[in-house]
Structure 1
Amino acid sequence: MTSSTAFDIHLMTEDDHDQVLSLLLNSFFQDEPITRCIQLTDTLDFAKSIIQGCLKDKCSFVAYHPQTKQIAAICLNEIIYKNNNENNSQWGEKVRFIFEILSAVHKKRSIFEEFSADKLLHIYIISVDQSARGHGLASKLIAKSIEYGKELQMIGAYAEATNLISLKCFKQQKFDVFDELIYANYNPQRLAGLKGEIYDRCYLVARKL
C-alpha cells in the first residue's frame, strides 16, 4: 500500500471544484449514515453551495493520489463567527432536517463561550474515496487544518463527528468530546435505522489551537 505521506495535500482552490463536487456526490453523500438513513438524494445544489462557501473562506484541504493525480480525500472547512445565524430556508426539508440535527448537538454547550472566541474553525466535511482508505488520510487532513488554523490565529476548532469512525480521527488530533446526541432519541421515527456502536450518535468535538 502507498504510504499516506505520499499524498499531495494542499489548500483547496477553484481548480479543485469539479473533483471535490464529484467526491461529495459519489462518496460522501452516499456513505454518510444520516444522508443514507433519511434517503437524501437531491444533493447537487447543496454540494455546490458547500464548496463555494468553503472556497470563500480559503481554509479547506484536498489530498491528491500520487499515482492517479486525482483528489482522493477532502477536508472542507469554514470560519464561523459567534452568533452566526445561517439561513437554511432555501433548502429542502431533508437538508434542513440534517442542519437541525447538527444544531441540536450544540444546544447544551457553546464552544464560542467556553473558548472565549469570536470566531472558530469549523471542520465541516471530511470524505475519503473508498480507493484511498486505510492510509490515515482523514486524520492527516484534520492535522493540516489545525496547523493552518493556527496560522490564521484561530483560538479553536470544532466539528460534528457523525459516527464513531469520525470521532476516532478527531481524537487522534487531540479533540475532546463536548456533547453527544443519540440519533434514535432525537427522532425515533426517522433515525431509528442509525443504531449500533459505530453509527448511533453524533459527537460535538472541539479543541483549542
Structure 2
Amino acid sequence: LHHYNGNKVGSSPSLSLLNLCLMKLKHRNEASGPLNKLFFQDKPISKTLSFDLPNEPTEFTNVCIEQALRDKCSHVAIDINQQKLIGVSINVIENVNEQKNVFDGPQFKSGKLRYVMKVFADAHGQVDLFKTFHTDCLLHLLIVVVDENYRGLNLTG
C-alpha cells in the first residue's frame, strides 16, 4: 500500500490509500480505457497525427495488454477509497532470440499506428541494448499512464 496526500491547491485535506498490484486478467478492461485515451492524448506525435481517440489506438493497446498479462510484470494502481484504477504501468519481457516482435508496425490496420511503430523501430534499431548490457533478457517499460486527477503526486517516482 502507498499513502499519498491527495491535496491539490485549494482542496480540503484528505489522505488516500493506493494499492499497487500486479496487473491481472480482471484489470484488462479497466486498464484499456486510460491507455487508449490518456496515453495517446498526451503524446505530441498523437496530436500531430490527429488520432481518433479513444478508438484508433485500441489494436495497439490490446496487443500491449495481452503481452503484459502473458509476461506478468505490469502493475496497476488502485485508489482504495474510490475503488478505481488510477494508473497503469505496462511492462514486457524481451528476449534476444525472439523471432517475432508483437509490436511490429505492419500488423496494425491504422496507418497512423504503423507510422508511429516505424518511428519507434527506427529509433530502437540504432542501439542494441542486449549487447550494451550483456544480457539475453530485458524488461521493457512500454507505457506508464496516470489518471489526470492523480498527476503531480509522485506516483511514478
**Normalized against structure 1, the TM-score is what?**
0.61
Correspondence 1:100 to 2:118: yes
* Contact kept in structure 2, 1:73 and 1:138, CA below 8 Å: no
How far apart in 2 are the matches of 1:51 and 1:71?
15
| Aligned: 1:21 with 2:39 | no
Asked if 1:76 is matched to 2:90, the reply is yes
3-state SS of 1:72 partner: strand
Greater shift in the superposed pair: 73-82 or 99-108: 99-108
Q: Deviations over 1:140-159 (max 9, x none)?
A: xxxxxxxxxxxxxxxxxxxx
Helix, strand or coil at the partner of 1:40: coil
Cα displacement (A) at 1:83: 5.0
Is residue 2:98 matched to residue 1:90?
A: no
User: Tell me, which stretches of 5 or more residues in structure 1 are unaligned?
Assistant: 140-209
Task: Point out the structure with the larger helix share.
Answer: 1
Are residue 8 (structure 1) and residue 19 (structure 2) matched? yes
Out of 134, 154, 158, the residue aligned to residue 152 of structure 2 is 134
Deviates more, 1:65-74 or 1:114-123: 65-74
Q: Greater RCO between the two (CA within 8 Å, min separation 6)?
A: 2
For 2:153, what is the secondary structure of its paired residue? coil
Give the drift of 1:46: 2.2
Whole-Å separation in 2 of the counterparts to 1:29 and 1:106: 20
Q: Is the 8 A contact 1:75 1:125 kept in 2?
A: yes
CA distance in 2 between counterparts of 1:96 and 1:5 reads 40
User: What 5-or-longer segments of structure 2 have no aligned partner?
Assistant: 8-14
Q: Shift of residue 37 of structure 1?
A: 1.6
| Structure 2 contact 94–140 (Cα < 8 Å) conserved | yes
Larger radius of gyration: 2
Match of 1:57 in 2: 71
Instruction: Give the distance between the partners of 1:130 and 1:24, measured in 2 at CA.
Output: 12
Write out the 4+ residue segments of structure 1 that deviate beyond 4 Å after TM superposition.
none
CA distance in 1, matches of 2:20, 2:45: 27
Distance in structure 2 (CA, Å) of the matches to 1:21 and 1:69: 17
User: Which whole-Å CA distance do the structure 1 matches of 2:134 and 2:19 have between them?
Assistant: 35
CA distance in 1, matches of 2:59, 2:125: 28
Structure 1 CA distance for aligned equivalents of residues 45 and 24 of structure 2:
28
TM-superposed deviation, 1:90: 1.8
Provide the aligned C-alpha RMSD in A.
Answer: 2.0
**Which is further off, 101-110 or 57-66?**
101-110
Match of 2:12 in 1: none
1:5, CA displacement in angstroms? 8.5
